[in-house]
């Protein structure tokens, strides 16, 4: 097998990826079209209540609505009529307002796209701050110690809607620096972009920070440093080498904000596409819901193709010629503070949980509403006078258990679909921009509102970041030198999966999953808050945050306890994963020698350094 053919064979078939996009988009639009009929409620009743809020409509009124909307014709007739009007620029009219759908969706999409671009700027800035230390030290060959990623874990664990409430209260109301509500100019975009971009930037920056040490250990980096290239030059190429594996995370982390920033849009009263889709789904207003879903699907596909093109441009001829080296994380010593961080988080979290389990989480005392922390109530009370410490302790096992179960299932699905790159790439692009709330409405329409129905809804969309990461890592692994060496020595598919693919993909995907664990908790909470998941009065951390979010300004302690517990859980998960970081994968002697071959010509002397730099379209090793 030649190097060129190996690189060509590793690329996903374009037509099969297109089939994945077509199948995923068709299935999603069909499911949306079936939503009113799957929900078990009369669509006419839901639409009529959305129109007039009539609590007790008469049979005659329901009959008139059915005739107006043609509900007796069935969902597939409506879907065919809606699709038939799209080539003419007609997306139908809203069942609730009677206004044309296309102008509404276009305006909302423009608002959400602008907000996403603002969040992207914040994401890049935060990611740069997270990995700045590693980039600075690594480019100077001074990286002597690994990082626990504690600060990144803290930022990633911040609930977006809670951060939005705090920013709106402090920077908008108290200080008056920026508008706290509405969408009336560039200044109105600052606070919501910060609320969305800070957690996303922490996730992206942590992934880059974890990959940079391996890039700085490649032979090209050592050679360039020995020849006196500037640290900035080496840092730029190391960043270029690393970004190729992280770029696919922009799709589920940033692009998905177009339809998934519902809570932040509500807090800041932003007329975005997420709010439009959610309101239409709740009212079972099919034309705007179908149009918004189609826009999200097209956005996901377009963004996926753009990211794929940028990745291939970053990797350059090494990917095309099948000579891309694998990134081997160096064995860096753990920070001395890491055991102390793990111990502190463990002791604090266990203390809160055990102390809460000794209290009654359901006792209501209206005379003790919104009390501040005291000896009787160490974390204060909520709006019904219930002890927050008790609710925090009793909700710990359920919160962590369901979130871990969802994470395990999502990682397994992501690994399987990410390895099926030919079809999985298209499915990933379609699902990445699907709001979890919409998935929750679709799944609970069949299963009914329950914690496991919400868990299933999150699993439907939560696998996409892991599939995107798996596909990116797998593409680079398949065209690496040691892979070609193993194949040339007669390694079969099982050997390659066990000794190459899984060791290359599994550790970074697991670290990504641990970093996203708080996000899973919050998504489950958002579904429960909408009545689609865990039902009250069951204590659950995400529900505590959602229920007490309106009281942030009046009683900030109501969200402080669950928010700190969520941060402690995130730091503990990420710090625990750092204990096993930096272990190199075992290689055969031939594979190691193949991995160490440089893609650059070996320079003969210091005078050849400019020629070496010019020859390196990609920093290879």
The 3-class SS string of 235-282 reads HHHHHHHHHHHHHHHHHHHHHCHHHHCHHHHHHCCCCCHHHHHHHHHH
In this prediction, what percent of the chain has a pLDDT beyond 70?
85
Q: How many residues would you count in the chain?
A: 621
For every residue of 592-608, which 3-state class applies, written as one string?
HHHHHCCCCCCCCCHHH
Give the per-residue pLDDT at 104. Answer: 93
pLDDT 10s digits, 269-311: 999 998 898 888 888 888 998 999 999 989 988 998 899 889 8
Q: Average pLDDT in the 3-27 region?
A: 63
Give the per-residue pLDDT at 581. Answer: 53
pLDDT 10s digits, 16-38: 777 778 888 888 888 888 887 77
Instruction: Identify how many contiguous H helices and E strands the chain contains and give both numbers.
Output: 32, 0
For every residue of 327-376, which 3-state class applies, written as one string?
CCCCCCCCCCCHHHHHHHHHHHHHHHHHHHHCCCCCCCCHHHCCCCCCCC
Q: Average pLDDT in the 228-256 region?
A: 89
Beta bridge mates, 93: 100
pLDDT band for position 620 (cuts 50, 70, 90): very low
pLDDT 10s digits, 405-462: 999 999 999 998 888 766 677 788 888 888 887 888 788 777 777 788 888 888 988 8
The CA-CA-CA angle for residues 511, 513, 514, to 5°, reads 65
Cβ–Cβ < 8 Å for 426, 298: no
What b-and-e string marks burial along 314-346, b requiring 16 or more CB atoms within 10 Å of the CB? Answer: bbbebbbbbbbbbbbbeeeebbeebeebbeebe
Residue whose C-alpha is closest to residue 402's, from 534, 240, 268, 215: 534
Q: Average pLDDT in the 579-591 region?
A: 44
Rg over alpha carbons for the chain, rounded to the nearest Å, is: 26
Give the per-residue pLDDT at 421. Answer: 63
The whole model's pTM is what? 0.84
pLDDT 10s digits, 152-179: 888 888 888 888 888 988 898 888 899 9
Cβ–Cβ < 8 Å for 527, 437: yes
Q: Which residues are CB-contacts of 291 (< 8 A; sequence separation ≥ 6)?
A: 91, 92, 101, 102, 105
């Amino acid at each position: 097998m030649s190097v060129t053919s190996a690189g060509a064979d590793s690329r996903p078939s374009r037509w099969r990826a297109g089939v994945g996009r077509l199948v995923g988009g068709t299935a999603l639009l069909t499911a949306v079209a079936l939503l009113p009929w799957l929900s078990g409620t009369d669509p006419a009743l839901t639409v009529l209540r959305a129109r007039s809020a009539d609590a007790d409509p008469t049979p005659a009124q329901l009959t008139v609505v059915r005739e107006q909307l043609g509900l007796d014709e069935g969902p597939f007739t409506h879907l065919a009529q809606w699709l038939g009007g799209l080539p003419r620029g007609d997306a139908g009219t809203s069942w609730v307002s009677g206004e044309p759908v296309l102008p509404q969706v276009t305006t909302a999409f423009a608002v959400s796209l602008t907000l996403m671009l603002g969040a992207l700027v914040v994401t890049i800035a935060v990611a740069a701050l997270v990995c700045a230390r590693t980039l600075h030290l690594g480019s100077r060959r001074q990286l002597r110690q690994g990082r626990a990623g504690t600060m990144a874990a803290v930022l990633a664990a911040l609930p977006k809607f809670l951060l939005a409430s705090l920013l709106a209260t402090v920077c908008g109301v108290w200080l008056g620096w920026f508008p706290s509500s509405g969408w009336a100019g560039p200044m109105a975009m600052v606070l919501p972009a910060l609320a969305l971009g800070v957690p996303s930037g922490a996730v992206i920056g942590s992934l880059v920070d974890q990959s940079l040490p391996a890039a700085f250990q490649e032979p090209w980096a050592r050679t360039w440093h020995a020849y006196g290239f500037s640290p900035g030059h080496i840092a730029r190429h190391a960043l270029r080498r690393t970004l190729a594996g992280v770029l696919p995370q922009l799709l589920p982390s940033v692009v998905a904000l177009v339809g998934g920033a519902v809570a932040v849009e509500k807090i800041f009263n932003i007329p975005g596409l997420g709010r439009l889709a959610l309101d239409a789904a709740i009212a079972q207003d099919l034309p705007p819901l179908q149009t918004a879903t189609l826009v999200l699907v097209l956005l996901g596909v377009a963004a996926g193709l753009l990211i794929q093109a940028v990745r291939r441009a970053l990797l350059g001829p090494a990917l095309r010629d099948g000579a891309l080296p694998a990134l081997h994380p160096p064995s860096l010593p753990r920070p001395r503070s890491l055991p102390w961080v793990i111990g502190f988080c463990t002791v604090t979290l266990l203390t809160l949980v055990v102390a809460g389990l000794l209290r009654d989480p359901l006792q209501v005392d209206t005379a003790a509403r919104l009390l501040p922390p005291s000896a009787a109530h160490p974390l204060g009370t909520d709006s019904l006078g219930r002890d927050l410490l008790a609710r925090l302790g009793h909700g710990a096992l359920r919160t962590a258990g369901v979130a871990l179960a969802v994470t395990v299932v999502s990682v397994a699905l992501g690994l399987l679909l990410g390895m099926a790159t030919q079809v999985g790439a298209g499915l990933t692009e379609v699902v990445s921009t699907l709001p979890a709330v919409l998935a929750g409405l679709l799944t609970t329409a069949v299963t009914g509102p329950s914690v496991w129905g919400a868990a299933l809804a999150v699993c439907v969309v939560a696998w996409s970041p892991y599939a995107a990461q798996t596909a990116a890592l797998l593409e680079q692994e398949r065209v690496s030198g040691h892979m070609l060496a193993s194949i040339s020595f007669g390694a079969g598919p099982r050997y390659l999966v066990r000794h190459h693919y899984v060791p290359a993909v599994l550790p970074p995907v697991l670290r990504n999953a641990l970093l996203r664990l708080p996000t899973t908790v919050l998504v489950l909470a958002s579904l429960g808050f909408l009545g689609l998941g865990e039902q009250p009065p069951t204590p659950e951390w995400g529900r505590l945050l959602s229920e007490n979010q309106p009281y942030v300004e009046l009683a900030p302690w109501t969200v402080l306890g669950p928010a700190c517990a969520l941060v402690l859980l995130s730091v503990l998960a990420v710090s625990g994963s750092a204990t096993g970081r930096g272990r190199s994968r075992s290689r055969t002697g031939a594979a190691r020698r193949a991995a160490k071959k440089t893609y650059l010509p070996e320079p003969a002397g210091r005078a050849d350094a400019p020629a070496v730099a010019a020859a390196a379209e990609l920093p290879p090793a």
